[in-house]
Structure 1
């Protein structure tokens, strides 16, 4: 299982994707599972990293899944319409709270 860092924003996305790609290429058998439980601070770059990791896994003919996604990540994935690609077994998340000025 691949493990996400505690922080995954645009700043960390390139390095995180590189590390995940290397780990994915090192193990070429079975389902690619990403554990998102360490995520505490993230933005839409986390979705981009996960989508690219999914693309790489599928290119190797391997199923892909994200486990233990924080509720806010699930809500963000739903907002962008990619929750079925990344979190297919996850229940529908609650709406994101409204932003305050």
Structure 2
């Protein structure tokens, strides 16, 4: 698993700074994954405890960036409240696609 992690706090007031630091890390991780013939960049949400809807925006941007680089984003250990927030906003399937049949 990669060393990419979401911070413990991800709210509107810190989302821009979080993206500024996360975007280059995602690019680098994507390049490493592709070089190793992988297809998934893994991002841990284990430490995420304080968040609002800006966390969803950041995650959707991360997923889009990964897709543009030819890999998919796999979000690990997401808190149930984050999953519920994504469901309410109608973006859960974009962050956690249903398993292929």
TM-score category of the 2 structures, normalised to the smaller one: 0.7 to 0.9
Superposition RMSD in Å: 1.5
Give CA deviations for 1:69-90 in whole Å, capped at 9, x if unaligned.
0010000000011111112359
Runs of 4+ in 1 over 4 A off after TM superposition: none
- More RCO (CA 8 Å, sep 6+): 2
Q: Name whichever structure is richer in helix by fraction.
A: 2
Matched, 1:72 2:81: yes
1:61-100 correspondence to structure 2 within 5 Å: 61-88=70-97
Structure 2 unmatched ranges of 5 or more: none
Structure 1 unmatched ranges of 5 or more: 91-101
Give CA deviations for 1:22-63 in whole Å, capped at 9, x if unaligned.
111122123111111101100000000000000000000111
TM-score norm. by structure 2 comes to 0.83
TM-score norm. by structure 1 comes to 0.83
